[in-house]
Amino acid sequence: MGFEVGTVTRKATFSFAAFAVVAFFVGSASAETIESALARAYASNPDLNAQRAQLRAIDENVPRALSGYRPRVTASGDLGVSNLDVTRGNSAGFSSMQNDSFWPRGAALTIDQTLYNGNRTGNTVRRADASVLAGRSSLRTSEQSILTDAATAYMDVLRDTAFLNLRSANIDVLNEQLRQTQDRFNVGEVTRTDVAQVEARLAAGRSEWSLAEGNLKSSIARYRQVIGVEPKQLAPAKPLERLLPKMLDEAVRIAFADHPAIIAAAHNVDVAELDVKIVEGELYPSVGLQGSAQRRWDYQGSNVDLVQAQVVGRVNVPIYEGGETYARVRQAKETLGQRQLELDLARDRVRAAVVATWSQLEAAKARIQAAEAQIQAATIALNGVREEAKVGQRTTLDVLITDQDLLSARVNLVAAQRDRVVISYQVLSAMGRLSATTLALKVDQYNATTHYNQVRDKWIGLRTPGGR
């Protein structure tokens, strides 16, 4: 078929539904498991790594804010050339001349230290920390999304491989049935219509096989995009129901407490509150201290030196700035109201997601039971119809229809089993509990606090902790 997903036996095709019982792929001892696939995605997915880089950039807002507590030091220097030519006359008609060339030069050092600015520096630091916490929660949301996408891609490859093999097995059955029907037609037991019915069903089966092949190729491409490697031999996967609570109300309670989207929205409210305080701080007086020292040579003449040092305290009191600051305070308050509404909206969305995925999981379980019962009944019916057809009590069309019913039941069971696994991941994600820790993935977990601690108190330096 032109792609390496693993060699699948026909017999194993029909046992796809028993994810936790039968190894789906030949050589499954060395097969990729869903846990190892998720670990690959966690470690190397470019979208997730981009989010981590974005969080590291947000971390740098903290040392930027802390710089408001620190002095600002400026050094300056200058060098020039000056020529002085003076002619003086007196009442006696005599004149005197002065010609002087010198090189004026100097160096200065200035230190500025803010002592008070309406507590804007403290509030800016707190805002930066709140932004970091919101960013970490957003990163957790991204991790959940990537892990869910990876689980979905993994199960889609398994499902579509099973579909393709079901279609292949169906074509084999129809080919054999066409041969038998043709033999019976040759001896006059059936009509040309019976042969045409089998031929039509065989053509439809080949079309369905082509569609299944295309779907599998698409799933393989998606797997490569999310997980980062081509799927080889994929092992069966179990749903995560062992990690889920027994009751829906408990799942909702956990989601309200743990979901990163809610936590991020709460931190965004903190950021907005601090924005109000920061802008209001501009209406308060500011107090600063400036110390300077300079040394000059050839000051206003050759061989003239100057040394000067001073310390100056400054107080600035804003009186009126045209109303611009007041407008920004009101604007920040409206933004705060928006963030509070977004927090309520985040809770509503999380609750809706938990309820929806929980219901879908229950429906998937019911579909599995129904599909298993359908397969059992369809198998009995097909065996009976085939025996009845041999003695002329059933037509070829009856056999084809019953065989198609059994195929549809098997397809339904495969789809339901895939949905049960995928939706169990979605439920855990909706609760805010889908993580490398919860899944016990064998991977070095990303610690967002490591970079934060590395840069928080840096006073100087251009290189990032990563070496760039």
Give the pair of three-digit tokens for residue 333.
Answer: 């308050």
Give the pair of three-digit tokens for residue 87.
Answer: 């002619």
Q: Describe the strand order of the beta sheet including 105-116 as a list of residue ranges.
A: 72-79, 105-116, 286-297, 306-316
Instruction: Compute how many other C-beta atoms are within 10 angstroms of the C-beta atom of residue 440.
Output: 10
Note the pLDDT of residue 180.
82
- Residues 6 or more apart from 447 whose CB is under 8 A from it? none
Please give the biggest Cα pair distance in the chain.
Answer: 154
Residue ranges per structural domain of the chain: 10-70+119-283+324-436+445-455, 73-85+97-116+284-317
Instruction: Compute how many other C-beta atoms are within 10 angstroms of the C-beta atom of residue 269.
Output: 19
Compute the distance between CA of residue 440 and CA of residue 425 in angstroms, rounded to an integer.
14
Considering the entire predicted model, what is its pTM? 0.83
Could you say which of 1.20.140, 2.20.200, 3.30.1330, 1.10.150 is the CATH number of the domain covering 73-85+97-116+284-317? 2.20.200
Note the pLDDT of residue 178.
84
Note the pLDDT of residue 12.
33
Angle between helical axes of 448-455 and 120-186 (0-180°, round to 10): 150
Instruction: Compute how many other C-beta atoms are within 10 angstroms of the C-beta atom of residue 405.
Output: 18
Give the pair of three-digit tokens for residue 463.
Answer: 């290189």
Q: Say if domain 10-70+119-283+324-436+445-455 classifies as CATH 3.30.465.10.
A: no
Give the pair of three-digit tokens for residue 455.
Answer: 């840069």
The half-sphere exposure of 4 on its side-chain side, counting CA atoms within 13 A, is 8
Compute the distance between CA of residue 45 and CA of residue 39 in angstroms, rounded to an integer.
10
Note the pLDDT of residue 86.
67
Note the pLDDT of residue 13.
34
The half-sphere exposure of 294 on its side-chain side, counting CA atoms within 13 A, is 16
Give the pair of three-digit tokens for residue 342.
Answer: 């977004």
Chunked mean pLDDT (size 10), the chain, 468 residues: 34 36 41 92 93 95 94 92 72 64 88 94 96 96 95 95 90 84 82 86 89 93 93 90 93 95 96 96 94 84 79 93 94 96 96 96 93 88 80 75 84 93 96 94 92 91 82
Compute the distance between CA of residue 59 and CA of residue 356 in angstroms, rounded to an integer.
35
